Chains A and B, each alone.
Chain A
Amino acid sequence: MRYTRVHTDVQEYQVFARKTRVEPLHQVGSVVAPDDDLAMAYARATYDEERWVEMMIVPRAAVISLWAPGGDS
């Protein structure tokens, strides 16, 4: 079956979720997509195996890192 890879312009979205109201959101993974619509569809399809009470996605580019492992903290 022939196909061509598409999406020349994509970005990474980080996926956050939690199972109960009392626990904080935590990162469960990431998806790569060309727009928010597809990123939502991909996040739900990829990470829907748990019974999350909340899930959200954030563009990786919108996350401001203060420090990280290996950096000058």
Chain B
Amino acid sequence: MGAGRGQLSLYSLVKSLADNKQLLGMRYAEWCIAAPTLEADIAAAAMGLDDIGHSRVLYGSLRELGTPDGAVDDATSYANVPYLDRPWTEWAEFVAANAVLDGAFTLMIEALANGNVEVLRSRLKKMLQEERYHALHGRSWMREVKAGAALERAWRESLEWIGPEDGDVDELHRAGQLAHGVRDLRRLLEERLDGQAPQTAIEWGNWEPIRRRTQAGGIDQATLDMLQGLAEKRYMPATG
């Protein structure tokens, strides 16, 4: 599938945001006993809960945003960035995701909360209050940790996730559903992180519009089952 010149609905963008938030929450939570300080352990758990909560609100808004553009409820339709496909093995990966990827997702929430879609205007504002503390955490840890390759990867995948110019995001912006277009989102992300995005060429020809990424692959079925609560159902007592 090509660069997706604006053919997608708001549904797909919000679904991808929800998927990423859910998986980011899980990845944060995986570090709740492995971060470098006790306070960072607690912050990882708290931010994980926040993001899983945000995903529930976003999923709950989908039914008012039209119909899916593709398949739903299987691993191939789970629309997350590759950075979240597998657990992180280094704290630097946590920090880069916290500062850059979480920052990109927050900017999109801000664009939705200030757009003209009422259900999103009313439900997304509280997320921005909570995300302020994620940004403080990420920005401060960026000063402590040399995130290097992880940082570059987080930047590249954030830009891929925001999408190409004149794609769906710019079309939704022109329709008033998003308060920012692609160029605004890129610029604001750089401003908030006090830095420039690395100059990397993105192969937009490989970009999958629904999953908002150029790289093949994705989460495995076991992870999807866990995220959807299917794995836990095995432990529920039988009824009847």
Q: Which A residues contact B (CB, under 8 angstroms)?
A: 1, 3-7, 31-35, 37-38, 40-42, 44-46, 48
Contacts and interface: CB of A to CB of B under 8 A. Distances in A.
Give chain B's interface secondary structure class: helix
Interface string B58-85: 0000000000000000000000000000
A31 B37 CA distance: 11
Q: Among A37, A42, A44, A45, find the residue whose CB has the most chain B CB atoms closer than 10 A.
A: A45
A7 B43 contact: no
Given A37-B137, A41-B133, 4 more contacts: A5-B36, A5-B37, A42-B40, A45-B45
Contacts of B139: 37
A60 to B, nearest CB: 15
B141 to A, nearest CB: 7
Contacts of B37: 5-7, 32
A41 B36 contact: no
B136 A37 contact: yes
A3 B136 contact: no
B89 interface: yes
Contacts, number: 62
B39 A42 contact: yes
17 contacts: A1-B89, A3-B90, A6-B36, A7-B37, A32-B37, A35-B140, A37-B139, A38-B39, A38-B137, A40-B133, A40-B136, A41-B136, A41-B137, A45-B42, A45-B46, A46-B42, A46-B46
Contacts of B144: 6-7, 34
B126 interface: no
Contacts of A42: 39-40, 42-43, 137
A37 B137 CA distance: 7
Contacts of A38: 39, 136-137, 140-141
**Among A4, A5, A40, A41: residue with most chain B CB under 10 A:** A41
B145 interface: yes
Contacts of A5: 36-37
B140 A41 contact: yes
Leading 9 A-B pairs by shortest Cβ distance: A45-B46, A41-B137, A38-B140, A45-B43, A42-B39, A37-B140, A37-B136, A41-B136, A41-B133
